[in-house]
């Protein structure tokens, strides 16, 4: 089976969680699955920007990205965070190849048109999964940072959840899993929703039950499901050990997002 696993920056910040996730991914490959990993790094990027004297601003969960912020994202996401994750997989005996969405032109982007203008924030408009398949054929794991190259030659910062959905769609993944620092999607009563239909998302957004970074995540879940990905689950990172048994109906942690 093909899996796309998205890791957030908060998970990557915790060495114990990072290695737990890496171990689970290595086990998935050992069990005969093909796994691609897409990672964010917002925590690390915000910290580096602060060290450079820049204040991070967000609109609808998306970072306003001027040229200096974009260049810093290339350094932090495409460099440090990406290579630490490759190293974590390697420590469990699993080879991995780190790349950005711009490498091999795996993903192409265009500037996201929004008000206010978000700067060098992009959206995926085309994909070519041949490099992913080549890496899988070698028994390795592609590790993708959330950056893509535009047709104008500029790199664009891509929301990592959107990148994960695009990756799952282009490689026709059987499942997309978001490993997060929250237990799942909480309903109006504050309890984790074990199942969430894409038809419920608009209402929950209107009522401000979901907000911030959960907005692009659920939008990405919806896009993946509507474009052929069979299963989408938001799973707490501390439950990463369940990944190899994801298709087991007994796995009930987190929130599974459904088409209807």
Residue 122 burial (C-beta neighbours within 10 Å; 0-12, 13-18, 19+): buried
Q: Is 63 annotated as a binding residue?
A: yes
State the residue for tokens 């601003």. Answer: 57
Parallel, antiparallel or unpaired: strands 58-59 and 147-150: unpaired
The answer to whether 243 and 175 have CB atoms below 8 angstroms apart is no
Q: Is 254 annotated as a binding residue?
A: no
Closest CA to 173 of 242, 103, 247: 247
The answer to whether 77 and 146 have CB atoms below 8 angstroms apart is yes
Q: Is 42 annotated as a binding residue?
A: yes
Q: Is 32 annotated as a binding residue?
A: no
The answer to whether 169 and 126 have CB atoms below 8 angstroms apart is no
Known binding-site positions: 41-42, 63, 157
Known binding-site positions for substrate: 41-42, 63, 157
């Amino acid at each position: 089976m093909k899996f796309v696993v998205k890791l957030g920056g908060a998970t990557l910040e915790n060495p114990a969680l990072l290695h737990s996730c890496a171990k689970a991914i290595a086990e998935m490959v050992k069990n005969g699955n093909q796994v691609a990993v897409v990672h964010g790094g917002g925590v690390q990027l915000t910290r580096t920007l602060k060290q450079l004297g820049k204040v991070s601003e967000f609109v609808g969960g998306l970072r306003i990205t001027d040229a200096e912020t974009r260049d810093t994202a290339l350094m932090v996401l495409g460099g440090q965070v990406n290579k630490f994750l490759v190293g974590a997989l390697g420590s469990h005996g699993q080879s991995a190849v780190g790349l950005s969405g711009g490498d091999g032109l795996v993903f192409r982007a265009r500037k996201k048109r929004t008000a206010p203008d978000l700067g060098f924030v992009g959206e995926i408009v085309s994909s070519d999964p041949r490099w992913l398949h080549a890496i899988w054929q070698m028994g390795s794991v592609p590790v993708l940072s959330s950056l893509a190259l535009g047709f104008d030659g500029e790199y664009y910062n891509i929301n990592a959840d959107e990148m994960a959905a695009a990756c799952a769609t282009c490689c026709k993944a059987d499942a997309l899993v978001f490993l997060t620092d929250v237990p799942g999607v909480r309903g109006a009563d504050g309890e984790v929703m074990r199942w969430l239909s894409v038809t419920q998302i608009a209402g929950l957004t209107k009522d401000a039950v979901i907000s911030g970074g959960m907005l692009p995540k659920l939008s990405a879940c919806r896009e993946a499901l509507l474009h052929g990905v069979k299963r989408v689950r938001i799973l707490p990172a501390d439950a990463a050990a369940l990944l190899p048994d994801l298709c087991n109906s007994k796995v009930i942690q987190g929130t599974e997002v459904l088409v209807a």
